[in-house]
Amino acid sequence: MSEGHKHGPECKEVFALLSQYLDHELPEADCAEIDRHMAGCEPCIAFLNSLRRTVELCHGYAPVEQPAPLDAAVKQRLLDTYRRMVAARDAR
Ligand SMILES: [Zn+2]
């Protein structure tokens, strides 16, 4: 019997944390923990591939030129852009 990676509860935890990734509410320590798990779990890696940008943000990949965190104004701007896109779509 080969003792491989235990795919189960741990993955669920990681998935749960991913939503926090998106909200930028994940402490660096948890980031490292997820990173560890991802290193040995292909399904999770595949899943995370689509969220890679967010992960990079989480790891502080952002250039020094943009030290400011996401503040309310920026968030609203993003929402505004999103709304526009949706509106344009509905207009068709
Ligand atoms: Zn996993």
The reply to whether 84 falls in a domain is no
For residue 14, what are the domain limits? 9-65
Return the pLDDT at 1: 41
The answer to the question of residue 42 being in a domain is yes
How many beta carbons lie within 10 A of that of residue 40, not counting itself?
13
64 vs 40, higher pLDDT: 40
List pLDDT tens digits, range 10-61. 888 877 777 676 666 778 888 888 788 888 888 777 776 766 666 566 566 5
Asked, for residue 18, whether it belongs to a domain, the answer is yes
Q: Is 1 inside a domain boundary?
A: no
What pLDDT is stored for residue 2 in this prediction?
41
Whether 57 maps to a domain, the answer reads: yes
| Dist. CA 18 → ligand 1 center (Å) | 12
Q: Is residue 51 domain-resident?
A: yes
This prediction's pTM: 0.39
Residues with Cβ–ion distance below 5 A, ligand 1: 11, 41, 44
Number of domains comprising the chain? 1
Ligand 1 mean position to 63 CA, how many Å? 30
Q: Name 17's Cβ contacts closer than 8 Å, sequence gap at least 6.
A: 26, 30, 33, 34
**Is 58 contained in some domain?**
yes
- Cα within 13 Å of Cα(5), Cβ side: 14
- Distance from the alpha carbon of residue 26 to the mean position of ligand 1, in angstroms: 18
Q: Give the pLDDT score at 22.
A: 63
Higher pLDDT among residues 75 and 29, named by residue = 29
